[in-house]
Chains A and B, each alone.
Chain A
Amino acid sequence: AAGVIQSPRHLIKEKRETATLKCYPIPRHDTVYWYQQGPGQDPQFLISFYEKMQSDKGSIPDRFSAQQFSDYHSELNMSSLELGDSALYFCASSTHLGTGELFFGEGSRLTVL
């Protein structure tokens, strides 16, 4: 069965650079969530989209933005990268807004040097 696809799997950037992470949800899933997970920490909710519109916002820095496109894939754009942005970024998708199981991708590991 198709799963959530994230790209790139690994990304290395310098401070103050920008990065873009992509997420392709499971087919027919209309909701996408972005989470950030630091080393040894629990996943922290960043932002979610339902039917291409932002549905909820968590602890996402102003330097970050995201959107969901007409084909339901989502992109997380990160600018003015800081060392503290180094983390695993997970995308999850579901069929129902906040009421169904979240299926997670394998994550994108961002390292900021």
Chain B
Amino acid sequence: GESVGLHLPTLSVQEGDNSIINCAYSNSASDYFIWYKQESGKGPQFIIDIRSNMDKRQGQRVTVLLNKTVKHLSLQIAATQPGDSAVYFCAENTPVGQNFVFGPGTRLSVLP
């Protein structure tokens, strides 16, 4: 994935508000997508996934939207909590690839 180095895009939201994190993926052939949450010094943690035959999938407090036309993925977090503060990555997988490609992360900061 394209790296933004030390200057991660940052999204700051008030506790209780909804958060929307966006991701533009690179390969139109990608058919499976995962959102990961990564806290400092820890491994990426699965949040929610979606396959290309769907455009929306909901989990507990999270919703993923997929727009294949513009190769765009978004993660919506409802009622954002302090524990949601982390870096969020989208990852894509293609039918022929045997790995997941990560997009640049977004740092979510939840303000009290």
Contacts and interface: CB of A to CB of B under 8 A. Distances in A.
Interface stretch (A13-21, A61-69, A77-85, A93-101): A93-101
A80 B25 CA distance: 34
B102 A48 contact: no
B98 A56 contact: yes
Contacts of B102: 35, 42-45
What's the interface size class on A, roughly? Answer: 20 to 34
Interface stretch (B2-10, B55-63, B68-76): B2-10
B99 A98 contact: yes
Interface string B26-51: 00000010101000011111100100
Interface size class of B (residues with CB under 8 A): 20 to 34
A104 interface: yes
A4, A38, A104, A105: residue with the most chain B Cβ atoms closer than 10 Å: A104
Quick one: which of A4, A42, A56, A109 has the most chain B CB within 10 A? A42
A98 B92 CA distance: 10
Interface of B: 1-8, 32, 34, 36, 41-46, 49, 89, 91, 93, 97-105
